[in-house]
Amino acid sequence: MEVIHTVAELRKYLQSVPNNVFVPTMGNLHEGHVKLVEEAAPRGACTVVSIFVNRMQFGPKEDFDRYPRTLDDDCKKLESIGCDVVFAPDEKELYPEPQQYAIYPGSIENILEGAVRPGHFRGVATVVLKLFNMVQPRAAVFGKKDYQQCLVLKNMVRQLALPVEIILAETVRADDGLALSSRNQYLSVSERAEAPRLYRELCELKDALEHGTHSYAILEAEATTDLARHGWQPDYVTVRRREDLLPPSDSDRELVIVAAARLGTPRLLDNIEVTLR
Ligand code: PAF
C-alpha cells in the first residue's frame, strides 16, 4: 500500500492505474469505512482512500480542532483490508491559497443538516470536487448514514456532468443498532447505553408508516418528544422524500426518515428508508 501526501506524487502514481475507485474519508476509520472500502475494491483496479479533515465543512463552533486524527492506525487498518493507495494531504497541500471558488449546492444546502450547520455542504461539495480532480476516479463510494451528503454529491455529479459513478453503501450498525460514527467515541458509558434509542425510534416510525399511518407530523412529534424525555436534544426527526429530502405528498412512496439529535456533547445522525406499497 502506498501512502501519498502530495497531489504531484498522487497524479504520478495514478497515471499507470487509471481505473481507480475512490473512498473519501476524514480518517479515524471504523467498520463503516471498512464497508466503504469493501464496496470499492471489486469495482476497480485500484482502491484509493483519502484521509483529510476538511476545515471548510466545520462551523466555527464545531469540533474541527478536536476531531480525532489517527493516521498511523488508519493506515494499518487500510493495509489489512487491501486498500492500494492512501492519499493524506495536509491543509497547505489541499488549500495552498484561500479557497475563493466553491460549489453551492442550491436549496438542499439550506434544509435539515444544512439549516443546523450553515455552509457545511458547500465545504463538503467543494472538497469532494477538489479530491475528484486530484484522484480522477472512475467511481466513488459514500455511506448512506450521511444521507443528505449523498444527495448533495449525487446532484453535484449530475449537474456538473462529472465522469464519476457514485456508489452508496448501507449504514453499518453496532449489534444494538447504533449507526457507527467517529463521533460515537465522545459518548459517555451511560450515553452509549442510551444511544441506540435513535435507531429504535426510526424503526418504530417506519413500522407505523408501513402499517398505513400517514399522519407524518404526529409520528414525528411523538418520536421527538420521546427522545427529549430521555435526555436528547433533537434537531429533527422527519419523514422526507428520498429523491430531494422535501416533505412528501400523499402520492410519494419512496421515503426516508432522517433524524439528528444531540446526546450530551455528540450530535448523532441516522436515517432509515421506507417504501410504501
Ligand atoms: O463523509 C465524510 O467523511 C466527509 O464529509 C467527506 C465526504 C470525506 C468530505 O470531507
Verify that 109 and 191 share a domain, yes or no.
Answer: no
Counting from 1 in the atom list of ligand 1, the atom nearest the Cα of 57 is 10
Alpha carbon distance 88, 5 (integer Å): 5
Q: Which of 169, 191, 210 is the last residue of a domain?
A: 169
What is the arithmetic mean of pLDDT over 103-113? 97
Cα(277) to centroid(ligand 1), Å: 34
Q: Is residue 176 part of a domain?
A: no
pLDDT band at residue 214 under the 50/70/90 scheme: confident
Cα(24) to centroid(ligand 1), Å: 6
Verify that 82 and 123 share a domain, yes or no.
Answer: yes
Verify that 59 and 110 share a domain, yes or no.
Answer: yes
Assign residue 37 the CATH number of its domain: 3.40.50.620
Assign residue 215 the CATH number of its domain: 3.30.1300.10
- Are residues 215 and 233 in contact, defined by beta-carbon separation less than 8 angstroms? no
Run of H or E including 31: helix 31-40
Q: What is the pLDDT of residues 129-178, one digit of tens each?
A: 999 999 999 999 999 999 999 999 999 999 999 999 999 999 999 999 99
Q: Which of 113, 147, 169 is the last residue of a domain?
A: 169
Verify that 34 and 113 share a domain, yes or no.
Answer: yes
Q: What is the pLDDT of residues 159-170, one digit of tens each?
A: 999 999 999 999
Verify that 55 and 151 share a domain, yes or no.
Answer: yes
Verify that 267 and 219 share a domain, yes or no.
Answer: yes
Q: Which of 106, 138, 169 is the last residue of a domain?
A: 169
Q: Is residue 177 part of a domain?
A: no
Q: Is residue 1 part of a domain?
A: no
Cα(208) to centroid(ligand 1), Å: 32
User: Any residues with CB less than 8 A from the CB of 205 and at least 6 apart, and which?
Assistant: 219, 220, 223, 237, 239, 257, 272
Q: Is residue 174 part of a domain?
A: no
Segments forming the whole domain that contains residue 40: 7-169
274: Cβ below 6 Å to ligand 1?
no
Verify that 236 and 159 share a domain, yes or no.
Answer: no
Verify that 12 and 111 share a domain, yes or no.
Answer: yes
54: Cβ below 6 Å to ligand 1?
yes
Task: Please report the DSSP string for 84-145 in residue order.
Answer: -EEE---HHHH-SS--------GGGGGSTHHHHSTTHHHHHHHHHHHHHHHH--SEEEEETT
Verify that 137 and 96 share a domain, yes or no.
Answer: yes
Verify that 270 and 140 share a domain, yes or no.
Answer: no
Verify that 123 and 21 share a domain, yes or no.
Answer: yes
Decide: pTM greater than 0.85. yes
pLDDT band at residue 213 under the 50/70/90 scheme: confident
Q: Which amino acid is at 82?
A: G
Q: Is residue 2 part of a domain?
A: no
The residues annotated as belonging to the active site are 33
Verify that 134 and 243 share a domain, yes or no.
Answer: no
26: Cβ below 6 Å to ligand 1?
yes
Percent of the chain with pLDDT over 70: 100
Domain count, the chain: 2
